[in-house]
Chains A and B, each alone.
Chain A
Amino acid sequence: MWEKKPILLLLLATAAILVGTIITVVLPFAWVNTEADRIETVTPYTALQQEGRDIYIREGCNNCHTQTVRPLVAEVLRYGDYSKSGEFVYDRPFLWGSKRTGPDLARLGGKYPDAWHYKHMASPRAMVPKTNMPDYGWLSANQLDPTMIKRKMDVLGFPYTSDELYSLADKNEMDALVAYMQKLGSDIPWRNAAATTIVGNLKNPYADSDHSTLEEWEPLYEENCEACHGEHFEGDIGPELDGASMEDTELFEIIYNGVPDNGMPPFAGLGADKVWQVVTFVKYYNQGEDH
């Protein structure tokens, strides 16, 4: 039989290959990206966002960053709500990635203000001292090409206006990339749902700490706050911090839940204990120096 007939062997081999292929690769098209997993609020990329996505692809960002949050406790705590199939219907190609040399970006949209991204892309180590991410400041020097972007949008069948395309001429590749990052994972209103409601009376367990204890918590401030609020609370991307003017509990709520509309990310992931340490550091460190 097939032992001596190469053509028959080739056909049988093809058949063996096709069984699993049809069941696990062809069949799913009947469910995936249909009404079954559709999400009403998910919208196509704008021209600027799509161009940003193509720059993300061109620079191979997917080699170090994934874009899918798994439904696992630690993962949802770290990155946000787990990813849903319907969120990716406009993704050609998919960019889920396979390795997290850097953090997952599926829920990056709205986490930081635009200014944070511009500064971070231009000089990652200015914001995150020990990161190994390369500098991408050079993207700012490259203007966008509206003609090419129009062709792309036409191929993808995404809606756009002529005003939108016209405005692209003034934009550069960094603008596009930041616009894309701000869109990531923000089509569903997960941030509101994820915010923690604080009930009962809050009390700062560290209110009576002395200055030397405060210094132990300085690294927490440096890692999480300094990039936006400056080395000496003077402010930069975020406002100047005048801890003394605020109640401990008020500070706690802002740091714990963030102020999404003003670009202040939530730091609930640090845990209440560390957030109280940051609160105490921000509020009393300067006072301690004064005394």
Chain B
Amino acid sequence: MKSTEYNYDIVRSFVNWSVLWGLVAVLVGVIVSFQMVDPRLNFPPYLTFGRLRPIHTNAGIYGWGVGVIFATFIYMVQRLCRTPLWSPKLARFQLWFFNATIIASAVTLLMGYTTSKEYHEMEWPIDVMVVILWVVFALNIIMTIIKRREEHMYISLWYMMASLVGVAILYLVNAAAVPVSLFKSYSAFAGTNDANVHWWFGHNAVAMALTAPPLAMFYYFLPKSTGVPIYSHRLSIIAFWSLLFMYLWTGAHHLLWTPVPDWIQTLAMGFSVMLIAPSWGSVINGYLSMNGQWHQMRENYLVKYLILGITFYGLQTIQGPMQAIRTFSAFIHYTDWVPAHIHMGTMGWVSMICFASIYYLVPRIYGKKLFSIPLANLQFWLILVGQLTWSFSLWIAGVLQAGMWTAMNPDGSLTYTFMETMVEMYPYWWIRSIGGLIYFVGVVVFIYNLVMTVRHGEIASTEAAAEGRA
């Protein structure tokens, strides 16, 4: 089959826009990190930490993360099914509606229209937009799979389909609210129930939007980059069903020691630890796929991104279950340790895979050789150093903070006031900001490399472009 049949046009558009939203997400992240070290950088009413932080997280998840999901899923589904996209028109609508949704989210969040629910801050009209967007996307992907010309469904397709239903269920339930006006609604659930529903959403948004899709990408782009198949398709299947089944029980590990019933917390704790198995099933599958191919870590920058990405996934899925244990949670929850954990997942695991996927895609969808492999390598080191600086500074800060919060005098009183513990954070927050800046520079290098590839890249057939990896 000739590749000309595939619809690359829409993949190009999604890549371009998601990269832009990724840049915005990192930029706003750097800004809010500086607001934490110097409160004079807050400019009320619009540009305060409280209003900007949700823009950072939502631009990262919905603009960058979901944008790359759109781009890569549409590419992968066509290749894996050996058939063009079911409806290019619907996909075109999806592109513009996606951008409208992201812009509407950013504007309304700046205005202070927010539900306050983390990673689901957008008010109900935008929820409606997100639902339309997802239904259109899911329909297109599923119809393409149904009309496929390749009988066997590769594991990436499984993860894609799980993500499609998973996100739909989570988002719809957690969005349940009673509107007061166009810009204000009250949650359909109250207090402890609302907390339990919300963190079921919150944690599984990580599963369905930030784990299943990057795994789909990893399972696709790793063998495509190395030229050898994954180690075991059957292992990936066992890991798939286990992951899908176990994840949904774990939301309440965000609510350990809160008024949520103890048995829910205990289940969440147990299942979180059990999740190590399916998570590492994928990690090990990735590592074993490199058997005899480890030299490619040196020669092929794509492999470097992908293997580092899956390594961070492995670390993330050890650290996560550790934090989900009551005793450990009692110590580090609510401290700066937690954002350090999250950012290893987002900056290390998810974004590494996204960068690799886009580096793989751009030469193929534009038919041009990558502008500069040295720049791609430079970016790799920038984002790696940036992210490690970011996370290590706050892991140390979190342990310090936790220790000070719980320190007691011999007479049973607290050793430190809250402010005494907070001022200790400033040096670490500075280091974190610098880590964020380094990462931002990495993203700028990435975008420069892409722009130069598209504008001035050597024209090549897709096959020849693929050779560019050497």
In their complex, do chains A and B touch, with some C-beta pair under 8 Å? Answer: yes
Interface residues of B in 160-212 (CB under 8 A from A): 161-162, 164-166, 169, 173, 178, 180-181, 184, 186-187, 189-198, 200
The answer, among A60, A85, A98, for a CB contact under 8 Å with B51, is: A60
- Chain A 88-126, CB-CB to B under 8 Å as 1, else 0, gives 111111111111111110000000000000000000110
Given contact pairs A10-B161, A95-B116, A23 touches B334 in the complex (Cβ within 8 A):
no
In angstroms, Cα B245 to Cα A272, docked, is: 53
Given contact pairs A14-B165, A98-B254, A269-B413, A93 touches B334 in the complex (Cβ within 8 A):
no
Measured between beta carbons, the chain B residues less than 8 angstroms from A17 are: 162, 165-166, 169, 244-245, 248
In angstroms, Cα B51 to Cα A68, docked, is: 22
Q: Are B267 and A23 in contact (CB-based, < 8 A)?
A: yes
Measured between beta carbons, the chain B residues less than 8 angstroms from A62 are: 116
The answer, among B50, B187, B197, B406, for a CB contact under 8 Å with A60, is: B50
The reply to whether the CB of A193 lies closer than 8 angstroms to some CB of chain B is: no
Q: Are B44 and A60 in contact (CB-based, < 8 A)?
A: no
The answer, among B48, B248, B251, B267, for a CB contact under 8 Å with A59, is: B48
- Chain B 382-413, CB-CB to A under 8 Å as 1, else 0, gives 00000000000000000000000111110111
The reply to whether the CB of A189 lies closer than 8 angstroms to some CB of chain B is: no
The reply to whether the CB of B146 lies closer than 8 angstroms to some CB of chain A is: yes
Measured between beta carbons, the chain B residues less than 8 angstroms from A100 are: 334-335
Measured between beta carbons, the chain A residues less than 8 angstroms from B198 are: 93-94
> Chain A interface secondary structure, helix, strand, loop or mixed?
helix
The reply to whether the CB of B53 lies closer than 8 angstroms to some CB of chain A is: yes
Among B11-19, B258-266, B343-351, B454-462, the stretch in contact with A: B258-266
Q: Are B36 and A272 in contact (CB-based, < 8 A)?
A: no
Q: Are B116 and A134 in contact (CB-based, < 8 A)?
A: no
The answer, among A54, A63, A92, for a CB contact under 8 Å with B50, is: A63
In angstroms, Cα B183 to Cα A152, docked, is: 12
Q: Are A132 and B116 in contact (CB-based, < 8 A)?
A: no
Interface residues of B in 310-344 (CB under 8 A from A): 330, 334-336, 338-339
- Chain A 1-23, CB-CB to B under 8 Å as 1, else 0, gives 00110110110011011111101
In angstroms, Cα B142 to Cα A246, docked, is: 80
In angstroms, Cα B420 to Cα A32, docked, is: 37
The reply to whether the CB of B241 lies closer than 8 angstroms to some CB of chain A is: yes
Among A23, A59, A272, the one with the most B-chain Cβ atoms within 10 Å of its Cβ is A59
**Residues of B within 8 Å of A, CB-based: how many?**
95
Among A84, A94, A155, the one with the most B-chain Cβ atoms within 10 Å of its Cβ is A94
Q: Are B116 and A6 in contact (CB-based, < 8 A)?
A: no
Q: Which residue of A lies closest to B412 (CB)?
A: A271
The answer, among B112, B152, B200, for a CB contact under 8 Å with A58, is: B112
Q: Are A131 and B252 in contact (CB-based, < 8 A)?
A: no
Q: Are B39 and A134 in contact (CB-based, < 8 A)?
A: yes
In angstroms, Cα B326 to Cα A71, docked, is: 12
The answer, among B48, B192, B247, for a CB contact under 8 Å with A94, is: B192
The answer, among B190, B411, B412, for a CB contact under 8 Å with A91, is: B190
Measured between beta carbons, the chain A residues less than 8 angstroms from B63 are: none
A-B pairs with CB below 8 Å: how many? 262
In angstroms, Cα B336 to Cα A73, docked, is: 21
**A7 shortest CB reach to chain B, Å:** 7
The reply to whether the CB of A74 lies closer than 8 angstroms to some CB of chain B is: yes
Q: Are A133 and B249 in contact (CB-based, < 8 A)?
A: no
Given contact pairs A9-B153, A33-B191, A59-B51, A133 touches B39 in the complex (Cβ within 8 A):
yes
- Chain B 301-315, CB-CB to A under 8 Å as 1, else 0, gives 000000000000000
The answer, among A64, A78, A132, for a CB contact under 8 Å with B414, is: A78
The answer, among B42, B194, B197, B251, for a CB contact under 8 Å with A135, is: B42
**A105 shortest CB reach to chain B, Å:** 11
Interface residues of A in 48-79 (CB under 8 A from B): 54, 57-64, 66, 68, 70-75, 77-78
- Chain B 221-263, CB-CB to A under 8 Å as 1, else 0, gives 0000000000000000000010011111111101101111100
Q: Are A92 and B187 in contact (CB-based, < 8 A)?
A: yes
Given contact pairs A58-B114, A134-B48, A224 touches B197 in the complex (Cβ within 8 A):
no
In angstroms, Cα B267 to Cα A28, docked, is: 13
In angstroms, Cα B88 to Cα A3, docked, is: 27
Give the top 3 A-B pairs by smallest Cβ distance, nearest first.
A271-B413, A60-B50, A88-B191
Q: List 19 A-B contacts (CB under 8 A).
A: A13-B161, A13-B165, A17-B169, A20-B248, A24-B267, A33-B191, A58-B112, A58-B113, A59-B48, A60-B49, A63-B49, A75-B405, A92-B187, A132-B422, A135-B39, A135-B44, A138-B44, A152-B186, A269-B414
